[in-house]
Amino acid sequence: MHIPSVDRLPTISLQITFKDIRPLWKPKGTNRRFLVFSSQQKVLSLPLAASGEKDPSSKSAVAIQSWWRGALIRRTVRQATLCVLVIQRWWRRVSFRRREERQGRALALYVRPVRAAVLLQALVRMWRARSQYKKYQKAVLVIQHKWRQHACRRESVVFAGSDPAAGGVDVNIEIIIG
């Protein structure tokens, strides 16, 4: 009979009580000893020999009983491991959500002043560009005004020196008093 080993299972410290397993006991009103093993599914009871004698069947009964205890412990450990995994998964999900919320709040606290600084920088750059544009616009207006004055003077000189037949204006006015 092959008895599985417990060495390969992960170690989890649990407090396990065996209420269904009773090693040796003597029922009331009898003089025979019974090895009683009970679980939810099966009940096994084997008669034992007298108190002084060791029976080979009692050794096999003890072996079966110890194997079954090991199986119960392995099942309990497996169920506890699954429960631990469920709890760990839940806790990781909760801690991840909390970390994400914390990072979001920290990012919002960081982004707000940075965004305000960038906005102020943009406003200052826009103000400087606008003032530079206005300065250039005033210079252009001065240049245009001076150019128009120059062009007007040039044209007046051209018209003043030309004859009326050529399309110029005769500016000679005779004043008669009489």
Mean pLDDT in each 10-residue stretch from start to end of the chain (178 residues)? 49 44 48 44 44 71 91 94 95 96 93 93 97 95 93 82 56 69
pLDDT at residue 59, rounded to an integer: 86
pLDDT at residue 163, rounded to an integer: 54
Tokens 């040796």: give the residue.
24
Strand partners, 38: 43
pLDDT at residue 83, rounded to an integer: 94
Residue 4 and residue 71: Cα distance in Å, rounded?
8
pLDDT at residue 126, rounded to an integer: 97
CB under 8 A, 24+ apart: contacts of 51-57: none
Residue 152 and residue 65: Cα distance in Å, rounded?
125
pLDDT at residue 153, rounded to an integer: 87
pLDDT at residue 39, rounded to an integer: 41
- Residues 6 or more apart from 61 whose CB is under 8 A from it? 35, 46, 48
Residue 47 and residue 29: Cα distance in Å, rounded?
15
Write down the H helix ranges in 11-167: 56-160
Residue 72 and residue 6: Cα distance in Å, rounded?
11
pLDDT at residue 133, rounded to an integer: 95
pLDDT at residue 74, rounded to an integer: 94
pLDDT at residue 169, rounded to an integer: 56
pLDDT at residue 104, rounded to an integer: 93
Q: What one-letter code names the amino acid at 98?
A: R
Residue 77 and residue 10: Cα distance in Å, rounded?
8
Q: What angle do CA 140, 146, 150 make, to 5 degrees?
A: 140
